[in-house]
A and B are shown apart, each in its own frame.
Chain A
Amino acid sequence: MRIGELAPEQLRQRFGGPGVRVRIGPFIVHLYSAIREFVADFSFVYAGFPICDEGEVSDFRVRLAPAGGWRLWREKQIAFWADGASPFAVGPRRLAMPFAEWGLNWCICSYAHQFLMFHSAVVEKAGRAAILAGPPGSGKSTLCAALLARGWRLLSDELALLDPVRGCLLPIPRPVALKGASIGLIEELLPHLPIGRVFPHTDKGTLAHLRPPTDAVERQAEPALPAWVVFPTHAARARTELVPLRKASGFLRLQTNCFNYATLGLTAFEAMGRLIEAAECYELPFEHLATAAGLVNGLAELQPALGCPLDAA
């Protein structure tokens, strides 16, 4: 059963009572909340995600609950709880959905050290994945959306999960967090994908969540092998081009986007070495989104689908 198959009243009862175990990529998140707006927002953008059986062990137990505190005189507050601890200061209740997403990011980055984690979008075509790595504002989310519009599969908009043993990237196709002007831009690029409620005045400006494509969620257990590491940088008047990077430079650039390189130490070094060995690395300064997406798309067009002999390309 998927979240979107439950009626609103059923959702409220389950989230407010025993909680709901949601399969999100390689994780099972057991989520509790009696906050109606949050349940509605979450259920809208996570509609396609499967609900797990009660017997399945969850990776994270997350609760969004009303909170007190001196800020109450201004507006209602909420607290984020993960496995019985509340790691953040309380936040405004009207921002419960973004608050939960940030909290889930925190859970994954704090505990999921079975993976090497990068601040990156990941998209896949014909079995090969492109890691789009960069800090906030580099344009990786809009480039990711433009590639989705060209038939690439979304593995993640924000977090690349590399299995250090198998060398593959695991999908975690959570809703895409859209900020500011990118909301309208992505509405144009991906008109078939619904966008949830718009949250003005967050710490990151105006924010909204894009419901992930159906195929991305349905194939969230299907990993992909890394083939390209691209470092996009959006800048006005930039010449849009793919600039090949040497392996060591690609490694060091990607290392700066890795959340748990120091934690995993030698395992991280070796896993990243294998990734970089297998992948081509590029810088991608760009001004025009369509041109940049065309260049990345061209990488997949130039190479045969994974598993095909070269002469079959």
Chain B
Amino acid sequence: MAFCAMRQAPGGESVRWAVPSANLLAWQVWDDEFLVYNAASGQTHHLNLLAGEALLSLEAEPAQTRELVRRLANQFEIAEDSPPLQMIDRLIHELDELGLIAPSTT
């Protein structure tokens, strides 16, 4: 996937993704709809179920892509290669583009 190649640590390992400490996120969750407010940007984002749970997971603890897939697969009780999780690179790219996550520096 093109997006995978965009953020690679030296040596080819995937970066660990995290919610930057400057991003104070506030949440409104209604069933499968998530609204998240990023105090650093002042922006409000509307996320679907997968994006919302992925961001909540990274907010709780940074993770490499593979680890995030594992967590979400467990949470939703689906296979790690199931169609929604095949989109994870694209999702991470979008969250990165929105400034909601960034490569972890710790």
Q: Which residues of A contact B (CB under 8 A)?
A: 246-248, 251-252, 255, 262, 265-266, 269-270, 273, 276-277
Question: Of B27-35, B59-67, B75-83, B96-104, which binds chain A?
Answer: B27-35
A246 neighbours in B (Cβ, 8 Å): 30, 33
A265 touches B39 (CB 8 A): yes
A270 touches B26 (CB 8 A): yes
Which 3 A-B residue pairings sit nearest by Cβ, starting from the closest? A248-B33, A247-B30, A269-B37
Residue B42, interface by CB 8 Å: yes
Residue B90, interface by CB 8 Å: no
CA distance A98 to B50 in the complex (A): 51
CA distance A269 to B37 in the complex (A): 7
Q: Is the interface of A mostly helix, strand, loop or mixed?
A: helix
Residue B44, interface by CB 8 Å: yes
B44 neighbours in A (Cβ, 8 Å): 252, 255, 269
Question: For residues 1 through 44 of chain B, which have their beta carbon under 8 Å from a beta carbon of chain A?
Answer: 24, 26, 28, 30-31, 33-35, 37, 39, 42, 44
Taking residues whose C-beta sits less than 8 angstroms from the other chain, chain B's interface range is 10 to 19
Q: Which of B31, B35, B37 contacts A266 (CB 8 A)?
A: B37
Most chain B beta-carbon neighbours within 10 Å: one of A246, A273, A277: A273
B35 neighbours in A (Cβ, 8 Å): 248, 251-252, 269, 273
A269 neighbours in B (Cβ, 8 Å): 26, 28, 35, 37, 44
B30 neighbours in A (Cβ, 8 Å): 246-248, 277
CA distance A269 to B34 in the complex (A): 13
A276 neighbours in B (Cβ, 8 Å): 28
CA distance A262 to B24 in the complex (A): 16
Q: Is the interface of B mostly helix, strand, loop or mixed?
A: strand
Identify the closest chain A residue to B36 (Cβ).
Answer: A269
Q: Which of B31, B42, B46 contacts A265 (CB 8 A)?
A: B42
Identify the closest chain A residue to B24 (Cβ).
Answer: A266
Q: Which of A262, A266, A277 contacts B26 (CB 8 A)?
A: A266
B46 neighbours in A (Cβ, 8 Å): 248, 252
A1 CB to closest chain B CB (Å) equals 45
Identify the closest chain A residue to B33 (Cβ).
Answer: A248
- List 26 contacting pairs A-B, 8 Å CB cutoff, sorted by A: A246-B30, A247-B31, A247-B33, A248-B30, A248-B33, A248-B34, A248-B35, A248-B46, A251-B28, A251-B35, A255-B44, A262-B42, A265-B37, A265-B39, A266-B26, A266-B37, A266-B39, A269-B26, A269-B35, A269-B37, A269-B44, A270-B26, A273-B28, A273-B35, A276-B28, A277-B28
Could you list 6 further interchain pairs (A-B, Cβ under 8 angstroms) beyond the known A255-B44, A269-B37, A269-B44?
Answer: A248-B35, A269-B28, A269-B35, A270-B26, A273-B35, A277-B30
CA distance A276 to B46 in the complex (A): 15
A270 neighbours in B (Cβ, 8 Å): 26
A291 CB to closest chain B CB (Å) equals 29
B58 CB to closest chain A CB (Å) equals 20
B37 neighbours in A (Cβ, 8 Å): 265-266, 269
CA distance A283 to B68 in the complex (A): 38
B34 neighbours in A (Cβ, 8 Å): 248
CA distance A269 to B33 in the complex (A): 15
A13 CB to closest chain B CB (Å) equals 49
